[in-house]
A and B are shown apart, each in its own frame.
Chain A
Amino acid sequence: MATTTATITLASSDLLSDPISFSTTAELTTAGTATGLSNTAGLARKTTGDTNEYTLLAAANYTDDKAHKIYLKNISTTSAQFFEVQVAGIVVGRLYAGDWAFFPWSADTTGTNCDVDITPSAADMTLEYMLLHE
C-alpha cells in the first residue's frame, strides 16, 4: 500500500481586511477505505498542436466509480492563454496560465462517458497532468 498525500494551502494577506491562510492535507485512499491509492500514470505533459479538443484521459481505460484523482497545470506564462477543461462534455472551467486544478474523477462509463477533455486557446500550449488511481 502506497502513501500519497495532497496538500493545499490557500493564502492571502490582503484580499480581506484580515489575512486568509488555510491548509489541509489529504491522504489519498481507495474508495471508502483507509488503503492508499496504489497506481499513478506519473507526471506527464501534453503539448497541443492546434486549438481542437483533445481527450486527455479516457474513462474507458479506468474502473468506474472509484477514488481517482486528477492534477492539471497550465504551464503557459502568457496570461491570456487557457485550457478549457471538460468532464463528460461538461465545461468545468478554464485553466489560465500558471493555474492548476486537482479534483476527484468518477471515470464513469455507465451513463455518459466521463472522459476528461481539454481545449487550448492557442495552438502551441502545454499542460502537465497526473492521474492517481485505483
Chain B
Amino acid sequence: MATTATITLTSADIAGDPVNVSKTATCTKAGTTTDLDQTTGLSRVHLRSTTNKVLLAANAEGNDLAAKVYIINKATDPTLYCTITINAQTIGKLYAGDWMFIPWSQTDTSANIEIAATNWTASTGDIPVEYAVFHEDTDFLTNA
C-alpha cells in the first residue's frame, strides 16, 4: 500500500547557481518499513473565521505514531492567508497557493492542528483550504 510524497524545489535565480532539490519519501508506519494504510482522503473546507478552528483533532491513540498532514490554501488572492497552529502555537502562515506537508506526532490531546482565516472579511470571500492525512492505526472518528 505504498503512498509516496515527492517534493521538488526549483529556482533558477534565487542563488548564484540553480536550486533543484527533488526527494521522494515512501510514507511508512513509525519506525518500520511497513506502508501507511489509512487516509482521511482529500477534504475541502471554506474558511471564514478569523479565529482558530480545529482542522484536525489530535487523538491520544495516535501519540507518536506516523501521520503525515498535507494542507493547501487554495485562495488566489495573494493577500489572503491562513494561520496554522499546533498545540496553540503558531507555526506559520499559508498564503494563497502555499502548501505544507508535515509529520504530526499528536504528542497529546492538545496537539490539535488549528487554522484561521486571519485576514478574512466579508468582502474577501471565503478561503478554500484542502487537506489530507495519511496515517496508521488510530482513527479520526468521533465517538457517537
Residues of chain A at the chain B interface (Cβ within 8 Å):
2-16, 20, 22, 24, 26-29, 31-34, 36-40, 42-43, 65, 67-69, 71, 73, 79-80, 82, 84-85, 87-96, 98-106, 108, 112, 114, 130, 132
Contact = CB atoms under 8 A, between A and B. Distances in A.
B16 to A, nearest CB: 10
27 contacts: A3-B13, A8-B101, A9-B4, A9-B6, A11-B6, A12-B1, A12-B2, A15-B2, A15-B37, A15-B134, A22-B42, A26-B97, A26-B99, A34-B78, A65-B93, A85-B103, A87-B86, A92-B102, A93-B105, A94-B105, A96-B66, A99-B27, A100-B25, A101-B102, A101-B103, A102-B7, A105-B92
Interface in B31-60: 31-33, 35-37, 39, 41-42
Q: Say whether chain B's binding surface is mostly helix, strand, loop, or mixed.
A: strand
A104 B92 contact: yes
A11 to B, nearest CB: 5
Interface string B66-104: 111010100000110100101111111111011111111
Which secondary structure dominates where chain A touches chain B? strand
Interface residues of B, number: 65
B72 to A, nearest CB: 6
B11 interface: yes
Nearest to B71: A103
Contacts of A93: 67, 102-105
